[in-house]
Amino acid sequence: MKRKRGGEEEGMDIVWQTPANPPHPHDYVFRNGIRFVRPYYFEFIAHVKNRWAGKTIVDLFAEEFKGRPYDYYVSAVKCGRIQVDGEIVPVSYVVKPSQKISHFLHRHEPPVMACDVVILQNEPDVLTICKPASVPVHPCGQYRKNTVVGILQAEHGLAPLFPIHRLDRLVSGLLILARNAAKADIFRQQIEAGLVHKQYIAKVVGEFPEDKLIVDANIEYNAREGRSTAEVRDSAKGKAACTKFTRISTNGTQSIVLCEPITGRTHQIRVHLQYSGHPIANDMLYLSEQTVDRSVKGWSADRSARISNVSLTSDLDEVLNACEENSNEDFSIDPMCTNCPNLAPKGYDGDEDGLWLHCIRYTGPGWAYECPYPDWAKLI
């Protein structure tokens, strides 16, 4: 869809995308094992919430969307890249409840690891894939095309797809997607009825107990900090949560553990393993200072350095720096964009190691789907 915003340079021929525009294979740029998305023009749409009402259009954006400087929002309003109800407004305009706000911007998505999204089974109503770590399942936050759903649509023409369970962005393994809304609803009903059994494997710190371990501890999620904490069962805090753990193997330093969550709380497996004293060995969010020393014994020297070094560095950082030098070979530079000339958005720290947590099996009434084990599940 070609549209010029008021005040745009006459020489710019911009194609604005909306969520209705599907991703295509040419949208991606691959460099040194990293999948980038070629920056594109996109229309973000929102409606004024009651708590936003009474603010000027510039103050609203500066206070609610802090990823760009105040001066950018002033310029964006003046040139028509921010509009209210489809109209250009002055920077002093005061918004009212339920008004439609459009923000036309040059969108840069964070990169992900360039692992294939492997299709395991492709049935008329169900698609199962092996989700690579670092790739979010569906559009969220800064991610739209660099998602499992986006990649499957771009590279395999598979759409629409309805993920029937969650996998965090840094978690890998089995992901089940319904091919239609009716099948998705059947899965949803089975999950809510407790008829679906989930199994994961994790590589954890230390020698995990040989006997089965059941962790029955409430989980409280702190959205501001982006992490969960485990509380004793009779605590008034958090929601009830239960996970079964069974040791598969150990080398005395680390263990491979089968994880079977009975409930489905945010970060449940990760925080319950931490609660047990055996956190996931590369889970920097839940590793304590005491367990870091034990976990790095099983890591290569460069990964160990990542833990002890306050300013994390990685091969991905070098790739990002190299991309900055010649990024304009792959896309047009936008004069107003606060991320150009880089491929990746500013503030991206390049810390993209996947967690040693992998979904291997889901079973339900009359069905079962599995995913192969990852390479890290072999202890030397």
Q: Is 185 a catalytic residue?
A: no
307: helix, strand or coil: helix
Alpha carbon distance 125, 51 (integer Å): 42
- In angstroms, how far is the first alpha carbon of the chain from the final one? 55
Instruction: Name which of 128, 123, 124, 125 is nearest 148 in CA terms.
Output: 128
Residue 242: DSSP 8-state: E
Residue 125: DSSP 8-state: S
Contact 109, 37 (CB under 8 A): yes
Which residue, chain included where needed, has tokens 């199962």?
128
Q: Which residues contact 165 (CB under 8 A, 6 or more apart)?
A: 175, 176, 187, 191, 196, 198, 362
Which residue, chain included where needed, has tokens 């070609």?
2
Tell me which of 13, 59, 116, 168 is the catalytic residue.
168
> Parallel, antiparallel, or unpaired for β 172-178 and 357-364?
parallel
Instruction: Name which of 260, 270, 245, 277 is nearest 168 in CA terms.
Output: 270
Catalytically annotated residues = 168
